[in-house]
Chain A
Amino acid sequence: MIDPTVVPVAVAFNPFDVLDVPAREWITLLVDWIVAVFRDFFRAYISPPVRAVMEAVHWAFSSIPPLLFLALVFALAWWAASWRVALFSVIALAVVGFMDVWSPFITTLSLVTTAVVFSMLIGLPIGILCSRSDTLYTLIRPVLDIMQTTPPFVYLVPAVMLFGIGNVPGLIATIIFAMPPVIRLTNLGIRQVSEDLVEAGIAFGSTPRQMLWKIQVPLALPTIMAGINQTIMLSLSMVVIAAIIGAGGLGLEVYAGLERLNIGQAFVGGIGIVLLAMVLDRITQGLGEHAPGRRKSK
């Protein structure tokens, strides 16, 4: 008979007791170290340009009278996509205005625009470099995976520690979170350009630079635009979350509404975000299909 009180050693043994990895402590140490070493550097060299661009964009957007703003959106949407999208965009933005969240909407749009500008500024060159070097891409891929799968909240902590609170740390977190699609799809788009066409470019004596700008990038444009579209969507979602660390705009409406249990305020902010997302999505998708040389099917 087996005595149930005597548990065999093998079962009683818990391997996790042997080693206790102090991961929390290590990471805290690492972050502390990074903060201690880089904080001043980051605040001196990274914050100012981000802030400057953001403020310029915000100033530009908010100085356009709402009626003119709607007219411009209408024209842009029509040019980029179709009159349907144009009409939809104007109605959606009008709803935002009538719900009295025009000013937070402008703030969010400025934040998204700034984040996307920086994501592209950094992401496009990296994407292009990746498309030319398999080694570089193998190195960068895991980094992109980490950037994309890390829950958005996790970015906020180091952002606050390095940059304090407010719009700028929110933007920095957003830029990092939203950049991967631009890199991935720029790389993919360029690699997808048909071998035949690259050969034709070579046969006529193109330099690598001519090849890039005259053949590869134009042909990769629809794919790159799809990446930018994804980046815009990711920025938007992150900019909203960044309200937690003090970023303004529609996200702040939601956050404040929730905090005060003002469901109406939170929902109005939420609807504004959804409408903005839809407008941005339709317009940038339209841009992607705008590439020359495609059979026009309208």
Chain B
Amino acid sequence: MIRVENVTKVFGANPQSVLPLLEQGKTKTEIQSETGHVVGVKDASFKVEAGQVFAIMGLSGSGKSTLIRCLNRLVEPTSGKIFFEDPEKGELDVTAMNVEDLRMLRRHQMSMVFQHFALFPHRTVLSNTVYGLEIQGRDKQEREEIGLKMLGMVGLGEWAEAYPSELSGGMQQRVGLARGLATEAKLLLMDEPFSALDPLIRVQMQDELKKIQAELERTILFITHDLDEAMFIGNKIAIMEAGEIIQIGTPEEILVNPRTEYVARFVEQADPTGVITAGTIAIPFRGTAFEQVREAGELKYLARQAYPEIEYGLDRDGRLREVVSAERSLTVEPLESVLEGRSHTSHERRRDDTLLTCTNRTVLRKLLQGRTYSTLPIVVTDEDGCAEGIVDEMELIGAILEKRGVSEEEAEAGIEAPRGRSSTA
């Protein structure tokens, strides 16, 4: 949908003169003290696929707003290229567009929600909401219909005729949101759209945004300071520091494998239970933690050295056929089916004769819920139903405390006990 290549933005009298210094690897602070130029964004490259939500995070002043504003050229990039995939016209070079094409792009393809709302004080809430449609030249009845729908969605249906000055900050922000959504643009640029909302409405808006995004197939670039929000909404997250994107990845990748100390500090407070998946923390059957203990007909039986009493019988395709514990065959049930309608604070004794299975996309929270049902390890399968590995108590605890899974080397080496995070990461 949108592709950004090596975009750099330098603020100051002669931005071009600073580019060679950047290439020499001077830092933002050095350049600022030597030349008085401010590096807003440095060499940013990324790609957002249609229908994805791309979250951008970073400390204040790290260049998030500058980057997102480069995309619709509210800020003119100093160097670099931006390509927009138009549904009809194919790939367009935004950085090379003339005024008229750019206007059409902004009018129909990209819309924006502003960090500081930027509502028009002389227009009513409804007339603010439909501004983009008005500019598009839609007739009054049609645009008011859409406007009222959008206002209803953000919970401000009753306020259509009020003026922005009569609204609280959070309400104004929602008007900005409605205005951004109303134009039906495929690409939404959202600069901290939920920052002024109270927690309850915030969660509601996040759900709403996900719904809109899925239903209307919008592509969203989303700036936020809230990691849990980024992880909930974002398919991918980019972390920025001093104008540079220092890591891009899925929420889980970033949480489990922070590339630098800065990223690690960022993700420290995140709640991993909705992000980390079974596939990441499972101990793989093909790793050295398991060994084959016997073979019977079609089935190979594997067991862990540390817990040899449970034997997992896999067929030739790698599907789990039987689990044997203390010479008893155990019941195997999918995690999803036992969780339905179950309270996780039941005082019943946990099962030790039923083993649960789940797919590798199952999140930590679900696995924990599963553990309230059965004390046995949970078997993780891939999309085709082939068993990948198991998740036991240690893996769950490790994921919560250290936010990380079994690394490749550890899996190979069969080590699983020491879980201290190496600070050299």
Measured CB to CB, the residues of A under 8 A from B are 194, 196-197, 199-200, 202-207, 210, 214-215, 218-219, 221, 291-295
Kindly identify which residue among B104, B110, B120 contacts A200, using a CB–CB cutoff of 8 Å. Answer: B120
A-B contact pairs, 28 of them (CB 8 A): A197-B118, A197-B120, A200-B120, A200-B131, A202-B106, A203-B111, A204-B111, A204-B131, A204-B135, A205-B103, A205-B136, A206-B135, A207-B103, A210-B135, A214-B131, A214-B135, A215-B120, A218-B122, A219-B122, A291-B122, A292-B122, A292-B123, A292-B163, A293-B123, A293-B164, A294-B121, A294-B163, A294-B165
Let me know if B112 and A203 touch, CB within 8 A: yes
Let me know if A203 and B165 touch, CB within 8 A: no
**A196-B165 CB under 8 A given contacts A203-B106, A204-B107:** no
Residue of A nearest to B162 (CB): A293
Let me know if A204 and B106 touch, CB within 8 A: yes
Residue of A nearest to B133 (CB): A204
Q: How many whole Å from B180's CB to the nearest CB in chain A? A: 9
- Cα–Cα, bound, A204→B189 (Å): 12
Kindly identify which residue among B105, B135, B165 contacts A293, using a CB–CB cutoff of 8 Å. Answer: B165
The A interface, classified by DSSP as helix, strand, loop or mixed, is helix
Let me know if A205 and B122 touch, CB within 8 A: no
Which B residues between 161 and 196 are near A, CB-CB below 8 angstroms?
A: 163-166, 183
Q: How many whole Å from A111's CB to the nearest CB in chain B? A: 33
Q: How many whole Å from A41's CB to the nearest CB in chain B? A: 40
Tell me which residues across on chain A come within 8 A of B123, comparing CB atoms: 292-293
Let me know if B132 and A205 touch, CB within 8 A: yes
Tell me which residues across on chain B come within 8 A of A218, comparing CB atoms: 122
Count residues on chain B whose CB falls below 8 Å from chain A CBs: 29
Let me know if B118 and A205 touch, CB within 8 A: no
Residue of A nearest to B117 (CB): A196
Residue of B nearest to A221 (CB): B122
Let me know if A205 and B114 touch, CB within 8 A: no
Q: Given contacts A219-B120, A292-B163, could you give 17 more A-B pairs where the C-beta distance is less than 8 Å?
A: A196-B114, A200-B112, A200-B114, A202-B74, A203-B112, A204-B131, A204-B135, A204-B183, A205-B103, A205-B108, A205-B136, A207-B103, A214-B134, A293-B120, A293-B163, A294-B163, A295-B166
Most chain A CB atoms below 10 A, which of B108, B122, B183: B122
Tell me which residues across on chain B come within 8 A of A294, comparing CB atoms: 121, 163, 165
Let me know if A200 and B164 touch, CB within 8 A: no
**A205-B74 CB under 8 A given contacts A292-B163, A293-B165:** no
- Cα–Cα, bound, A204→B132 (Å): 5
Whether, in the assembled complex, B342 has its beta carbon less than 8 Å from a beta carbon of chain A, the answer is no
Which B residues between 368 and 417 are near A, CB-CB below 8 angstroms?
A: none
